[in-house]
A and B are shown apart, each in its own frame.
Chain A
Amino acid sequence: MAIIRARGLGKCFRVADKQPGLGGTLRHFFARRLKDIPAVKDVSFTIESGEVVGFLGANGAGKTTTLKMLTGLIEPSAGEVEVAGYRPFRRQAAFLRTITLVMGQKQQLIWDLPPLDSLRVNAAVYGISEAEARRRIDELAEMLELGEELRRPVRKLSLGQRMKAELLAALLHRPSVLFLDEPTLGLDVNAQVRVREFLADYNRRTGATVLLTSHYMGDITALCQRVLLIHQGQLFYDGSLQELTQQLAPYREVCCDLGAVYPPEAFRGFGELESLAGHRVRLLVSRDQLTGTISRLLLTFPVLDLEVNDPPVEEIIGRLFREGAVA
């Protein structure tokens, strides 16, 4: 069953067009020139209940704007959107109870108080009885490995602990659709992994639908079977992550540790040199030439160690956008 449906979704922002400098500032103050900037154009997709979908795109591609239209924070300028059977922008209470939004760069917990105080407020606002709230907090705290941190002022928590507490606060009302905007922003690798594991676990246990944006491709590869790729406000790709990488990257990455240091020219004819740092070299080799290139490498250089990987997804997507292949 489709739980999120967007058809021809678009959003134009009216922004001030200010010239730099004092003259520009004065002119801007007296006669504000405005121009319409399309942030999202004609985006259509459906998401089935229980899916975990990654939302990819460069900064300013329109991910957050789309997320805000899906949660009902801003009104679409064009098209239609339906989430769990509701029109989001009406923000009916029943709709708000079924969704949640977590933003990596904004927080809802009260800064000076322990998370438990914020949780009490949320329980009251959502009309969750105290006993029930306590039960849910215990359950989520266990999944998130939070303990006495919930009794410490938020300002004294580490970023990772704070993010986990934010997740707890966002999930207290048991939403069935989760919108996560950069939920692992700024976290160290360990904390990222823990948040990821929790989200996967939560999705498995509750069957909740998750739409997630992230700069860390690790989040996407670990969690999402499907990705939506948005570029300059338009939906560019909708499908499995694996297919995307294969389609966009007919390469593999070959990493070698060499017994000696070589100049970059030495690797001419061995695919594309991705990086060379001391004894370690990384080459992008097209799939059909992979075996031939590797055997030549082994013959030409004193290879101590050799690894063949799929290139990192951010590399692929970055390359895609740089080369303008999207046009």
Chain B
Amino acid sequence: MGRYLRSLREFWSSSLAIELEYPANALIELLSVLGNLAGSVVVLALFYGRGHGLGGWSWDEALVVLGIYTLLDGFTSTLLQPNLGAIVNHVRTGSLDFVLLKPIDSQFWLSARSFSPWGLPGVLAGLALIVLAARRAGANPSLLTLLGTTLLLLCSALILYSLWFVLAATSIWFVKVWNATEVLRSTLVAGRFPVSAYPPALRTLFTLVLPVAFLTTVPAEAILGRATIPWMLASLGMAMVSLGLSRGLWRHALRYYTSASS
């Protein structure tokens, strides 16, 4: 365990060093986060400004959902994009060879090797929005609620990570799967709004097939004090199943890895 923690520290400090080699990038990323957030708030304001609601959610409650989306999007930019986005390249160029020959879990290496600090503003902005909006929505969460919400947020992150990793792992067979991860990222955008705002067919899709509902709506309900035990258990189950699936699939995929020839 100590070896993994120390590896993680070295992974992230070296990634930080790489990012700081290119300081101009920092500013661009920061602007893009703020731009995205502003865009989302404007879209939301358009809905409410004209007296429309979203699936029975008040303006402030919907902002909580948006906050969670922003938080997850920041997490995506910090960890998922830089790591899982690189898997396809590892497979294509054969540099996966070096990863597989290290005496460390290859899924851990591939999932945690890089760290991009430019997603952190998104994480912070998301957190701020959640706290602010939940307050205005009149939420007065108890310690238990907060713990539950944190757990559900962890589940969201795990589900998102696992889905993404599964898609990236299929690159062992299909080599180029950038399109598939693009689709995933745009589906996540659907999580900006409460899932009840969508027509029933999409709602089912977003709950059972692409678990967008678990990503943002379920944790938002938790912090607003509306969580139900079945939904929480479902979320936890979903997280465990998708994590298990990602590990199983990765092991299976490696049997088919042929490595790029030289």
List residues of A whose CB falls within 8 A of some B CB. Answer: 13, 64-65, 68, 71-75, 91, 93-94, 96-97, 99-101, 103, 105-108, 110, 112-113, 117-118, 120-121, 123-127, 153, 181-182
- Which residues does chain B contribute within 8 Å of A112, judged by CB atoms? 18, 21
Q: Is the CB of B262 within 8 A of A108?
A: no
Report the separation of the CA atoms of residues A124 and B262 in the bound assembly, to the nearest whole angstrom: 29
Tell whether A96 pairs with B101 under 8 Å between CB atoms, given A74-B259, A103-B262, A125-B3.
yes
Q: Is the CB of B18 within 8 A of A74?
A: no
Q: Is the CB of B258 within 8 A of A13?
A: yes
- Which residues does chain B contribute within 8 Å of A124, judged by CB atoms? 3, 6-7, 9-10
Tell whether A106 pairs with B262 under 8 Å between CB atoms, given A73-B100, A127-B3.
yes
Q: Is the CB of A182 within 8 A of B97?
A: no
- Which residues does chain A contribute within 8 Å of B258, judged by CB atoms? 13, 74
Q: Is the CB of B10 within 8 A of A121?
A: yes
A269 to chain B, nearest CB (A): 45
B107 to chain A, nearest CB (A): 13
Smallest Cβ-Cβ distance to A127: which chain B residue: B3
- Which residues does chain A contribute within 8 Å of B255, judged by CB atoms? 75
Contact of A73 among B10, B109, B257 (CB under 8 A): B257
* 14 residue pairs bridging A and B, Cβ less than 8 Å apart: A68-B97, A68-B259, A73-B100, A73-B101, A91-B100, A100-B101, A101-B101, A110-B18, A112-B21, A117-B14, A118-B14, A121-B11, A124-B7, A125-B7
Q: Is the CB of B18 within 8 A of A96?
A: no
Please report the number of residue pairs spanning A and B whose Cβ atoms sit closer than 8 angstroms. 81
- Which residues does chain B contribute within 8 Å of A181, judged by CB atoms? 262
- Which residues does chain B contribute within 8 Å of A108, judged by CB atoms? 95, 98
Report the separation of the CA atoms of residues A73 and B258 in the bound assembly, to the nearest whole angstrom: 8
* B229: interface (CB < 8 Å): no
* B209: interface (CB < 8 Å): no
Q: Is the CB of B262 within 8 A of A96?
A: no
- Which residues does chain A contribute within 8 Å of B7, judged by CB atoms? 121, 124-125
* B102: interface (CB < 8 Å): yes
B103 to chain A, nearest CB (A): 4
- Which residues does chain A contribute within 8 Å of B150, judged by CB atoms? none
- Which residues does chain A contribute within 8 Å of B102, judged by CB atoms? 96, 125-126
Report the separation of the CA atoms of residues A150 and B252 in the bound assembly, to the nearest whole angstrom: 38
Interface size class of B (residues with CB under 8 A): 20 to 34
Report the separation of the CA atoms of residues A141 and B11 in the bound assembly, to the nearest whole angstrom: 23
Would you list which residues of chain B between 68 and 87 have a CB under 8 Å from chain A?
none
Would you list which residues of chain B between 1 and 54 have a CB under 8 Å from chain A?
3, 6-7, 9-11, 14, 17-18, 21
Contact of B17 among A96, A100, A113, A125 (CB under 8 A): A113
- Which residues does chain B contribute within 8 Å of A94, judged by CB atoms? 103
Report the separation of the CA atoms of residues A126 and B94 in the bound assembly, to the nearest whole angstrom: 21
Name 8 extra pairs, CB < 8 A, besides A124-B3, A125-B7, A181-B262: A13-B258, A73-B259, A96-B102, A103-B262, A106-B98, A113-B14, A118-B14, A121-B7
* B186: interface (CB < 8 Å): no
- Which residues does chain A contribute within 8 Å of B94, judged by CB atoms? 106
* B93: interface (CB < 8 Å): yes
- Which residues does chain B contribute within 8 Å of A100, judged by CB atoms? 101
Q: 1/0 contact trace for B98-122 toward A, CB 8 Å?
A: 1011111000010000000000000
Report the separation of the CA atoms of residues A122 and B67 in the bound assembly, to the nearest whole angstrom: 38
- Which residues does chain A contribute within 8 Å of B93, judged by CB atoms? 106
B1 to chain A, nearest CB (A): 11
A207 to chain B, nearest CB (A): 22
Q: Which 3 A-B pairs have the closest CB atoms?
A: A93-B103, A96-B103, A124-B10
- Which residues does chain B contribute within 8 Å of A118, judged by CB atoms? 14
* B228: interface (CB < 8 Å): no
B229 to chain A, nearest CB (A): 41
- Which residues does chain A contribute within 8 Å of B100, judged by CB atoms? 72-73, 91
Tell whether A126 pairs with B103 under 8 Å between CB atoms, given A101-B97, A108-B95.
yes
B21 to chain A, nearest CB (A): 5
Smallest Cβ-Cβ distance to A60: which chain B residue: B261
Contact of B10 among A13, A107, A120 (CB under 8 A): A120
B2 to chain A, nearest CB (A): 8
Q: Is the CB of B14 within 8 A of A110?
A: yes
Smallest Cβ-Cβ distance to A68: which chain B residue: B259
Report the separation of the CA atoms of residues A94 and B9 in the bound assembly, to the nearest whole angstrom: 23
B108 to chain A, nearest CB (A): 10
- Which residues does chain B contribute within 8 Å of A125, judged by CB atoms? 3, 7, 10, 102-104, 109
A181 to chain B, nearest CB (A): 7
Report the separation of the CA atoms of residues A71 and B98 in the bound assembly, to the nearest whole angstrom: 11
B126 to chain A, nearest CB (A): 29
Would you list which residues of chain B between 222 and 262 have a CB under 8 Å from chain A?
255, 257-259, 261-262
Smallest Cβ-Cβ distance to A91: which chain B residue: B100
B8 to chain A, nearest CB (A): 8
